[in-house]
Amino acid sequence: MDNMAVKRVRKTKTKDRIRLNVRGIVQGVGYRPLVYRLAVSNRLTGYVRNRSGEVIIEVEGERENIESFINELVQKTIEPARINHLLVSHLSPVGDREFIIEESEHSQECSSVFPADLAVCEDCIAEVLDPNSRFHLYPFTSCTNCGPRYSIIRSLPYDRDGTSLTSFPLCQTCALDFSDPMNRRFHAQTIACAKCGPKMELLNSRGMQIAGNWLTETSTALSEGKILAVKGIGGFHLICDAAHMHAIEKLRNRKHRPRKPLALMARDLAVVEEYFEISSRERRILTSRQAPILLLKPKENARRHLPLEVIAPGLTRIGIMLAYTPLHRLLFGGRFDFIIATSGNKSGYPIARSNEEALSQLSEIADLFLVHNREIIIGIDDSVGHVMEGELCLIRRARGYVPELLTFPYPVQADEQKKEFKQFLFSSPIVLGTGGEMKNTFCFLYEDQALLSQHLGDMENLESLSNHRRALKHIEKMLGKTPQLIAYDPHPDYFFSKEANKGPGDVVPVYHHHAHMASCMAENGLISPVIGCILDGTGYGQDGRLWGFEILVGDYTAFERMVHLRPITLPGGESAIRHPWMTGMSLIYEAVQNGDQTIGWGKRLFPCTKEKLPIVLAQLDGRIPSPKVSSSGRLFDGIAAILGICMESSYEGEAAILLSEMIERLDQKVISNHRGTYYPFELKDGEWWIDRFIMQVLLDREQSISAEVINLKFHHTISEMVREGVLHAHKKTGIRSVVLSGGVWNNRYLLSCTKKLLQQEGFSVFTHKKIPAGDGGLAFGQAVSALWRWYQNHVPVGTCKDNRIGSASGKG
């Protein structure tokens, strides 16, 4: 009897119930349908529902099935979905009879991330191109695996009634797809078709509708060399036929964009492979859900069929993206392989979002306007990146990557179960990094997460500032949080410097180059002090001067400037940035220290500026006051001018980019023959002296040494200067971790060359990947630095004297 009883107990299978709180990228990516299918296949009952920023799952069933469900959930959560945190709680069974998807639960706060815009999937494209599909030629086709997300969200949780698609009630057929667990549009919040979804219209520049089929008329207009403003996911593009040289020239002329490179949109991957060199890594990036613009080298076929010198003057790599929406794919038809697709904005303005904005801003640029009636809630530009040393490095972080959450090191380095760490998360303030005035982004830190905004451009006018405020308010609304601690760049002329000090929150000034260093540290999870090699254009330093070629030592809370470029005069101040020949004159004066000789060199090298040379000299010799700078960006400008490559800059960083691209064109034999060659310089009292360096460049120029070889030696010289500076800092501190940050490190050859030199010396070298090396990463560094300084000072938010925390973040 006892044995039989034991056997009966073994045959009886008891039911368990658990709750899973899942945080991460789990909304807007088909996650609830995935949970539903896994629960049903494992014979579990219960429910799944969205709660602002997270997914709540309760499952009930046999223990083995629950364990199988959890394992499958982890294994099958693949891109673009991602689990950051999974909390499991054990509950008492309640006897559910089925598994259901419940209505979303609304709460005041968002504890996790909300979804990014996703490129159209292959299944949807196949339906758009299939004459037998009900989605044939429908430009808003999407499913749970693809389509707009972030740009159309009004509120969380991510449900249709919280997006701009709430204006389009589902037709009966779409409603059936939406409710069918076996359909890939099951609970797809962006589902729409020609019967019930958004509509396209083709308008002229006065806003009047063009008669006829919009797709046919658009194709004809492109063939005729017309420029179209096309409304996409996050805003407008200006497009034209990429093989039509006169159309591209017309676009450049109308947009007042004489030389800045234009991006190409390709019909499909096969076209890209036919015209451009592409590695397996680049192929995966280009076809990813993020679908960024990627810098690729053209093949001879591209040089024969595309006017590359008009598309990207002087550049060896072209920005390429795939058609990432059904609308974009339809634009190609059978006529075009590539179209120009550049941001739809008036020069200096943010990207146009609404039809009204586009007609107002772009009526003098575009011939026609291809618009739709789906509202874009928040504008977002295309992301831009390139592959360096096998890794994607983002130059501009926006569509597809924002609002993905980032991790960063916390001031309390304790196990998450320890009381101290939990107290830190509970008491730590919500931090806002306001970013810089160029390539602006902002960054929120809350709990243990960082949200870096999309690229917002240069803060040049009221429209740009308004766009920044709108994006900030949008994030605040999504998160249900407002900043309590605000980090800003203390440049006295920056708008954000003034606005931050007027605000209600506590403020933390973080110097420009300290923010760069902190940004690279945080991205790489570094805690201990590092040597920071910060090379960029210009940033405000503690001495009131413009910095940009620095070796710093420090951590998140403080820094010391160990080595820097001996300051040179910047004639005309920051306006010289647009006139590299003026910086060239400054370098010449540093080398010869003689006014007559400087004028003589100026007449030979810059003959078109003869009348302006005396006034420039008066600034160089001190008769007219001018600021001093220690900037690598300005050094690149001056060398580019001396080599005759860039006298006038038409876009930010043009001179430096052209020098970088010149090396890309060099034969490997030339590079091998000059490996290790560099110009002489001196490191004295913590300053790099470059007078002999520049003098030798001038002599090489006079002796007709090719600009390519001089430029190669120039790059080697910068690498050697950095190496010497790092060794100097190491001897004083013993530190062996080095971070490279600042926009100059987007230079592929310079980064590779310098990294190898430092690694040969035994240093561990860390660089940027997900966070832009340029000013687009400043906000991240500002925010993390502010949080660490807040913790170090142990000052409760709201009690800081003069509203400041650690107003000096380093020492000179």
d(CA 516, CA 687): 20
- Secondary structure string (H, E, C) spanning 222-289: HHCCCCEEEECCCCEEEEEECCCHHHHHHHHHHHCCCCCCCCEEECCHHHHHHHECCCHHHHHHHCCC
Sign of torsion over alpha carbons 300, 383, 329, 130: positive
Strand ordering across the sheet containing 506-509: 449-452, 443-446, 431-433, 485-488, 506-509
**Bond into 411 cis (ω within 30):** no
Residue type, 5: A
Domains 13-101 and 396-528+771-803 alike in fold: no
Whole-number pLDDT of residue 240:
98
Domains of the chain, residue spans: 13-101, 113-395, 396-528+771-803, 565-766
Nearest by Cα to 281 from 270, 262, 271, 294: 294
**Bond into 772 cis (ω within 30):** no
Nearest by Cα to 226 from 243, 251, 202, 206: 251
d(CA 61, CA 44): 5
Residue type, 541: G
Query: At the topology level of CATH, where does 113-395 sit?
Result: DHBP synthase (3.90.870)
Q: What is the DSSP letter of 1?
A: -
Return all residues near 402 (Cβ < 8 A) that are at least 6 apart.
Answer: 116, 150, 380, 452, 453, 454
Q: Is 542 helix (H, G, I), strand (E, B) or coil?
A: coil
CB 277 within 8 A of CB 366: no
* CB-based burial, 373-410: b 16+ in 10 Å, e otherwise: ebbbbbbbbbbbbbbbeeebbbbbbbbbbbbbbbebbb
Whole-number pLDDT of residue 421:
58
Q: How many helices (H) and strands (E) does the chain have?
A: 27, 29
Whole-number pLDDT of residue 414:
46
d(CA 150, CA 107): 19
Residue 428: φ, ψ to 5°: -70, 145
Catalytic position from the list 17, 23, 42, 50: 50
CB 451 within 8 A of CB 433: no
Rg (CA), the chain: 29
Catalytic position from the list 17, 23, 32, 51: 32
Q: Where are the alpha helices (DSSP H) in 621-706?
A: 632-642, 654-664, 668-673, 691-702
Choosing among 3.90.1150.10, 2.130.10.10, 3.40.50.150, 3.30.420.360, the CATH entry for 396-528+771-803 is: 3.30.420.360
Listing DSSP states for 107-124 in one string gives -S---S--PPPBPPPHHH
CB 715 within 8 A of CB 753: yes
Nearest by Cα to 262 from 378, 402, 382: 382
Q: What is the mean pLDDT of each run of 10 residues along the chain (812 residues)?
A: 36 78 79 88 92 84 93 84 84 91 66 80 97 98 94 88 95 96 90 97 96 96 98 97 98 96 97 97 96 97 96 96 98 94 92 96 97 97 96 97 91 59 70 94 91 94 90 90 93 81 81 98 97 96 94 97 96 88 97 95 95 94 93 97 96 95 92 93 97 97 96 98 98 98 97 97 98 98 96 58 44 44
pTM (2 decimals)? 0.90
**What is the CB neighbour count within 10 angstroms for residue 277?**
13
Return all residues near 559 (Cβ < 8 A) that are at least 6 apart.
Answer: 511, 513, 514, 517, 532, 552, 553, 809, 810, 811
Residue 648: φ, ψ to 5°: -125, 130
What CATH number labels 13-101? 3.30.70.100
d(CA 412, CA 116): 30
What CATH number labels 565-766? 3.30.420.40
**What is the CB neighbour count within 10 angstroms for residue 106?**
13
Nearest by Cα to 721 from 549, 580, 591, 590: 549
CB 340 within 8 A of CB 245: no
- Hey, what are 371's tokens? 């618009």
**Bond into 403 cis (ω within 30):** yes
Return all residues near 586 (Cβ < 8 A) that are at least 6 apart.
Answer: 568, 569, 570, 571, 576, 620, 638
Active site residue 803: no
* CA angle (192 as vertex; 188, 196 as ends), nearest 5: 140
As to burial, measured by CB atoms within 10 angstroms (0-12 exposed, 13-18 middle, 19+ buried), residue 59 is buried
Active site residue 373: no
- Secondary structure string (H, E, C) spanning 328-377: HHHHHCCCCCEEEEEECCCCCCCCCCCHHHHHHHHCCCCCEEEEECCCCC
d(CA 702, CA 601): 10
